[in-house]
Amino acid sequence: MTNMIEDAVRKALSEAPPRKFLESVDLAINLHNIDMSQPANRVDEELILPHGRGRQTKIAVFADGETALLAEQAGADLVIPSEDIEDLAEDKKHARVIADEYSFFIAETHLMPSIGKNLGPVLGRRGKMPQPLPPSADIASIINRLRGLIRIRSRDRLTFHLAVGSIGMEPQQIAENIEAIVTKLEQTLKDGKQNLKSVYVTTTMGPAVKVI
């Protein structure tokens, strides 16, 4: 399957007009023969891409003291101290900006109740409630793992999109990322590949090319 996918990726990249920014490479996934009004049929999976997304995945950490310092040293893009949680809840516009800008959130375990109470409506709606960080956990390992992680989420829609790479990556790398996602979907969907109507690959501003 990889060769067929790679051909589609190469076509999508070659037909994409040149832009002055690093475009992402996205998948448009179309499902059928499945009732998405039933929560059990919806896709909500995590997957570590074989080659990452070709760009930095932004990660925010709710932490204080030594854990906050370790998070900064590990390369966290934003560290939010506990005293800022209620302030963010009051400034909903700023909270929404942060929720949209950062792909993943991590939080010290004891801060989770406060985050749920104050920021649950903002983060939960986006599927971005923080991953709890136990006291003994290695935050650097968690951050490194999240760099290559994507969420495959359909919600209640038969058609949904997700980023699988960027135009700076090799076509073969993007193709292998796509194959990993298709395999995960076939393993997850109620009737496997029978629920996959079609998959298209496209750059941010380019034409869509059918993969399957």
Same domain? For 140 and 108 the reply is: yes
Domain of 123, in residue numbers: 59-147
Query: How far is it, in rounded angstroms, from Cα 87 to Cα 80?
Result: 11
Render pLDDT for 88-110 as a digit per residue (tens, 0 to 9): 999 999 999 999 999 999 999 99
Looking at the structure of the chain, the number of domains it has is: 2
Residues 136 and 77 in one domain: yes
Interatomic CA distance for residues 195 and 155, integer angstroms? 15
Residue in the block written with tokens 């002055």: 20
Q: Please check whether residues 81 and 39 belong to one and the same domain.
A: no
- Cα distances (Å, whole numbers) of residue 57 to 16, 39, 194: 23, 28, 32
pLDDT of 22 higher than 80: no
Q: What is the pLDDT of residue 153?
A: 92
* 186 shares a domain with 107: no
Label residue 114 exposed, middle or buried (CB < 10 Å: 0-12, 13-18, 19+).
middle
- Find the helix packing angle between 92-101 and 112-125, rounded to 10°: 80
Query: What CATH number should be reported for the domain holding residue 129?
Result: 3.40.50.790
- The pLDDT tens digits of the residues spanning 56-92 come to 789 999 999 999 999 999 999 999 999 999 999 999 9
Cβ pair 22, 168 in contact under 8 A? yes
Q: Please tell me whether residues 50 and 63 are part of one structural domain.
A: no
195 closest CA partner among 83, 32, 52, 10: 32
